[in-house]
Each structure stands twice: as C-alpha cells, then as structure tokens.
A and B are shown apart, each in its own frame.
Chain A
C-alpha cells in the first residue's frame, strides 16, 4: 500500500548506520559516532511510530486490520514456488514489534551514550547496535519464513558480536561463543523445520501459510516419523528454533552467560527484543499451530511451563543481579510461550476464549519489553555506580541513586503484577488464558507468578535496602543520558497497561475488549503480594533469615544456585563427549587411518622396491636364470591356457 512506501527507510537506515559506523567509525570521535547512531535511530523510531499510527488508524476491513505488504521483491528463487523474497509485512503484531524494538533500541542508544562513555570500541558498539536493530526489524517485518530465518541468523550474529564486545575478557568470549552455538543448534531445528514445512506446503510465505489456503495437514498427510506426523515434526522443529532464541528449557543455558555483554545490550537484546523472537515466531505461525498441530502447541505449553518454573526457582538464589534478571527474563518469556501454548482456537470473542492466550502473550511481550528493559537499564546504572554485578557489593543504594531506585521499583511492581502497572494487565490475561485451558496450568503459572514477585523483590531489597556494602568511592546517580531513558520507560511501564491491546492484536484480527476476570486477577494479586511480603520479611533489613532458610533447604538451594547443573551437563556433553569421543577420534582416524592408508601405499611401494632389489643382484648368471625362467614361465602359462 502506497502510504507505507517510506517504510523501507526503517530497514535501510540502520543498515546504512552499520556500514557507515563499521567502515568509517574508527575515524570518528566517540561523540560523533554516538550521536550519529542515536539520531539515526531516533528517525527510525519516529517513522515506526508514524507507521503504527497510520496502520492502526487505517479503516478496518471486515473488522480486521488488513495485512499490508508494501515491499516484497524476489531475492533468491529456489524453485518455481519456493522463493525467498525480501519484503516488509505490516500486520498488528509486526507493527507492535516495530514500536517495541525502536523504542527500546532508542532508549538503549541514548542510555549507552552515558554508559559506554569512554570505552574503547565505542564506535564499534554503535555499529553493532545498528546492525542488531536492522536485523531485528528485518525479522519482525519478514514476509516469509525464510526471510525471518535470514534475519534470525543475523540477530544471532549481532548478539554474538555484542556479547563478545569485551573481547579481551575470556568469559565474554566464551559466553558469546556459547550463545551463538546454542542458538545455532536450535536454528538447525528451525532450518529443518522450514525445509519440512516448505516441502509440504510449497511456500515460504507467511500469508499463504496462515490464511488457510494451504493445509500442512493435508499435504503432509500420512507421512510420519517415530509415530509423530510430519506436520507435527515440522512445527515442533520450527519451535525448536524459537526455543533456542527465546532460551526455553533446555536450550536456555546461553542466556545467563550472555550477561557478559554490556548491560544496555542485555537490556535490548537479551531482555526486550531478540529473546522474544521465539514468541514472535510462534505467534506468526499461530494459525498453523493452533489449527493444524495442536499437539505441538501442547508440547510448547509443557516446555514453557517447565521453563517458567525452573527459571523462577533459579532466579531466587542467584547473587549476580544481571543473572537474576536473565532468569527472570527466561521465566517471563516462558509465560508468553505458555500463553500461546494454552490456546485452543483462533476465536476470541464473546463466544469463545480459545485465542485469548495469543493476545495475552503479545500484550505481555509488549509490557515485558518495557519493564524488563527498564530493569536492565536500572541494573546497568547500578553496576555503573558500584562497578560490580554482585548483590553483596550493593545494598542501601536508595540513598545515592533516587531516580534509579524509583524506576527500578516501578519495574519490580510491574513484573510482580501489581496493578496498575502494566505487568499486571498482561500477566493477568495470561493467567486467565491458562485457567481457561485447565486449572492445572492456571495454578502452575500463578505459582510462578508468586515466585516472580518474590525474587524480584529479593533483588530490589538486596540492592536498595539491606546492609550497606563498603564502597571505594561513594556511588552516585547516573548521568542524564542514562536517567532519561529510565524515566521514559518507567512512565511507559506505568501506563502501558491501559492500552486497549485487544483492540489491536487478536488472533483473528477482530477487535476484542479486554475485561479483567477478577477471580483470576484477585488470585494473582494475592499471590504477588505474598511473594513481596516474603521478600520484604527476608531481605528488607539485614538479618540471618535468608541463610537459615537456605540451610534448611540446602540441597535445593545448591542445585538451584548451580542452575540445576545444566551448564555442567552441556559442558560434559560437548567437551567430554563430542570433542573427546567424536572430534578427536575422527581427527585421529583421518591422520592415522585414512592418511595412513595413503602413506601405507607409498610405504608399500618402497617396501616392495626394497625387497625385490635382490632380483637385480648384479650377477650375470642370475640374470640368465631369471631370463630363462621368465621365458619358461610365460611359455608354460601359454601352454596351459591355450
């Protein structure tokens, strides 16, 4: 549609920023580079808002916001039907994502001006940020699954580059490697899933896939593997890609380590945007999942639920504040995943609520992006002040950093689900959807919500209250560049819950008025308050209750502290098994057996050469004997054969 012709700038500009900063950045001053990047992003943000405004003010067709594809050109044609196109697809969720990404990214850009001040590689940092923004925007506006995969890989790479930004630090390098390889492994599943899906449906196009014109079930009918139908395999494998990016159990191990990156990066990539790509992916293909492969959706629910609980438990005992936030992120994303998983149909109106989870999930995605970015940026400000990630180095900071304190508290309240902060509304919808599906999931998720409130306030109290740690120099409030984003996000967090989200994003596209189910809401508020109260009791004032409690649940605590030893298992499998029992033997095999065979041929030639030298004895008469016997032998053979 022509009114969105300018939308390509949203993609082009960050790309240009990346190229400019990447190629010429080292010649610029820090200030120029930072300002260039930020102002570029500002333009994009404005454009994204204009797009959103225009899109959502468009007249609805049959009560639905039309899907708009302003650009879609052929990039690479595989076959007649399988074509990778690059284009821009605007529909409610992609427009919503555009807003989220640009907003958070802009905040992070501004914030980084202060946070990264004076770092070497400042220009590089902005270049990578631009690259990430570009990739992420490309991902959300993808018109087809292959375009999504392309940008999916690109966000992975930019995440790799940003996590490893402090490349002289061994742990950062290791973390970046881990993040990339784990997600890459998940992407393998994604790729195979795409291949399967496209093989059966003969298309990559999201529109074709989701508007019901091709049916995966029909085309893949009768094909099964290990008792599971090909359609389910395809969709489950695609989800595997999403699970990797969204750090779902058991592919979550990279995310806590990814906190080695600069904190704004964590806020942008590992909290607000990239990690929700998995959710976005499932949401994109939601019609396929919900209509054609509900069994996969069930599987998704289970994975999400396990992850949510697991991450929440682990988050309760971590001492590195960024890790707490990381596990909290995992847990919250799991909420979104569960919300999608519990959907039973596309319907979301007065007759049926089967699609409520979809709306809830997207809503939570939106709110979570804001308050989690806020949390991370706040944490960044704190780390900036105390130069440490450990809780033990903090405590009592509320006096020194009032703005940070307030904004952090708002975010904590939001994530804990206390009204009227945004988190309450979205989480409430999720719980409602879960209860809709079955009471089991509802209770389970409510429990996790309670844990969320607990660990968030444990974090909050440990940082801002409790015993004051010894500081080498007094912590001070962050500079303006850092506080402005905090304040902005805090404002958003406060009011985002009142956005009539259901009017914009629903599975069918039909408008839906969110109405709070007060039973569910009440329960969730109660649980949240219990959690907060517990945290207050334990952590508000310095005391030995936490230690005692940890002692009373020693083994659980240890296991949780070590994240249930998943890293160790992975390390064991990769280093001890794959490296030692696959790679090394193959390398050995290659050098000694394959190569050995080749060398053996050479050696055998030499050996033969050495051992037949006696033939050439130098003695005339033995020559004659050989001569004669040679002739006789030939004659004999001829006589025998003829």
Chain B
C-alpha cells in the first residue's frame, strides 16, 4: 500500500517536474516561467523527501524556493513590465534548441539505460540522523566535509563581494 502510494506520488511529482520544466522554458511570460520553476523545485524537494533525504529536501525548499526564486522574482519585477510577453522564437532557433535537447537527451538516456548499475536495487537505509549529518559536515576524516564547508564560505564571500560590486550603482 505504502509502495503504491509512493508510486503514485512519484508519478505525480514526475509529471509536475516534466510538465513544469517544459512550461518553464517555453512560457512567454517570464514571471510565469519563474513560477513553473518554483513548482519544479518543489517537486524536486518532493523527490528528496521520497528518497528519505529530508534534510536535503528542506534545504532545497529553503534555498531554492525561499532564496533563489525570490531573487528571480525581484529581478523580474525590476527588469520587465508586468504582463509583458516575450517575442516569438524564430523557428531556426527552436529547431536548434530541439535538436540540441533531443540529441543530448537521447545520448544521455542511452548511456544511462545501457549501463549496468551494479546493486540497482533500492536500499532502504532510512532517514539519516541529523546529528550524523552534522558530524559529517564538520568532520575532517574521509567522507566528512569540513574542508568543502570552509571552502564554500570563501566562495560565498567572494560572490557576495562580487555581486555587490556589480550590482551597486557606484
């Protein structure tokens, strides 16, 4: 039963992801595109929950939905008029886009499908303990991530400085 529910939820989420992804890249209204993106991100978070990575799902929602999409919306509101529709795409451009997307997808799917993933079975490890995750994030041994954590702080600092430098008027 639970499995069936899980399957139904999966297909639902998949449908949302697929449809909204496509809409996000085809909608001629930019604000709507951002909204579709939001849906995709939520559905992705749903995937994470389904896979028992609750912490990741939460992060996904916080950062993407709470941070990035808001940033997008601000930027959209700043740069375009409400209700403005973008121009139609020329057919050559669309043709190239489709060709790129389809051929790329075909190649990737081919390799993914032909690959013999070796355990290839869902290992129900269950939810990881938050404390364990915290230790891993702060540890220095193998499979522990203090160094990336520190490093990314430099990256974020750099991006803040850079972003401010560019975005401010002066």
Q: Which A residues form the contact surface with B (CB < 8 A)?
A: 621-622, 625, 628-629, 632, 635-636, 639
Contact = CB atoms under 8 A, between A and B. Distances in A.
Contacts of B111: 635, 639
Nearest to A622: B96
A625 B103 contact: no
Contact of A621 (B93, B104, B107): B93
Contacts of A632: 103-104, 107
B109 interface: no
Nearest to B93: A621
Contact of B100 (A628, A635, A636, A639): A628
Contact of A635 (B93, B96, B107): B107
Contacts of A621: 93
B107 A625 contact: no
A635 B111 CA distance: 10
A222 to B, nearest CB: 74
A230 B111 CA distance: 77
Given A625-B100, A628-B100, A636 B93 contact: no
B108 to A, nearest CB: 9
Interface in B85-142: 93, 96, 100, 103-104, 107, 111
Nearest to B101: A628
Which of under 10, 10 to 19, 20 to 34, or 35 or more describes the interface residues of B?
under 10
A636 B107 contact: yes
Contacts of A628: 100, 104
Contacts of A622: 96
A632 B96 CA distance: 14
A629 B100 contact: yes
A622 B96 CA distance: 9
A632 B102 CA distance: 11
A625 B96 contact: yes
A621 B103 CA distance: 17
Interface string B19-51: 000000000000000000000000000000000
Interface of B: 93, 96, 100, 103-104, 107, 111
A146 B104 CA distance: 81
A629 to B, nearest CB: 7
A49 B163 CA distance: 112
Contacts of A629: 100, 103
Nearest to B96: A625
Contacts of A636: 107
A632 B107 CA distance: 8
Nearest to B110: A639
B101 to A, nearest CB: 9
16 contacts: A621-B93, A622-B96, A625-B96, A625-B100, A628-B100, A628-B104, A629-B100, A629-B103, A632-B103, A632-B104, A632-B107, A635-B107, A635-B111, A636-B107, A639-B107, A639-B111
A621 B90 CA distance: 13
Contacts of A625: 96, 100
B106 to A, nearest CB: 9
A628 B97 CA distance: 11
Contacts of B93: 621
Which one of B93, B100, B111 has the highest number of Cβ atoms from chain A below 10 Å of its Cβ?
B100
A304 to B, nearest CB: 89
A628 B103 CA distance: 10
A14 B93 CA distance: 93
Contacts of A635: 107, 111
Closest 3 CB pairs of A and B: A628-B100, A625-B96, A625-B100
A621 to B, nearest CB: 7
A632 B111 CA distance: 12
A622 B100 CA distance: 11
A280 to B, nearest CB: 90
B104 to A, nearest CB: 6
A230 to B, nearest CB: 74
Nearest to A627: B100
A629 B96 CA distance: 10
B158 to A, nearest CB: 23
A398 to B, nearest CB: 108
A27 to B, nearest CB: 88
B105 to A, nearest CB: 10
A143 to B, nearest CB: 87
Contacts of B107: 632, 635-636, 639
A639 B108 CA distance: 11
B95 to A, nearest CB: 11
Contacts of B100: 625, 628-629
Nearest to B106: A632
B86 to A, nearest CB: 14
A490 B149 CA distance: 124
A635 B100 CA distance: 14
A228 B108 CA distance: 80
Contacts of A639: 107, 111
A449 B96 CA distance: 101
Given A628-B104, A635-B107, A636-B107, 4 more contacts: A621-B93, A622-B96, A628-B100, A629-B103
Contacts of B103: 629, 632
A635 B96 CA distance: 19
A629 B99 CA distance: 10
B29 to A, nearest CB: 20
A480 B68 CA distance: 124
B72 to A, nearest CB: 19
A636 B96 CA distance: 18
A633 to B, nearest CB: 10
A632 B100 CA distance: 9
Contacts of B96: 622, 625
A440 B154 CA distance: 117
A636 B111 CA distance: 10
A324 to B, nearest CB: 92
A516 to B, nearest CB: 112
A621 B93 CA distance: 9
Nearest to B103: A632
Nearest to A619: B93
A541 B103 CA distance: 113
B7 to A, nearest CB: 32
Nearest to B114: A639
A588 to B, nearest CB: 48
Contacts of B104: 628, 632
A58 B103 CA distance: 109
A234 B81 CA distance: 103
A628 B93 CA distance: 15
A174 B96 CA distance: 76
B22 to A, nearest CB: 18
B151 to A, nearest CB: 27
A628 to B, nearest CB: 5
A636 B104 CA distance: 10
B155 to A, nearest CB: 23
A240 B93 CA distance: 82
Nearest to A629: B100
A642 to B, nearest CB: 11
Nearest to B111: A639
A625 B93 CA distance: 10
A626 to B, nearest CB: 10
A376 B107 CA distance: 101
A621 B25 CA distance: 14
A56 to B, nearest CB: 106
B143 to A, nearest CB: 30
A339 B9 CA distance: 125
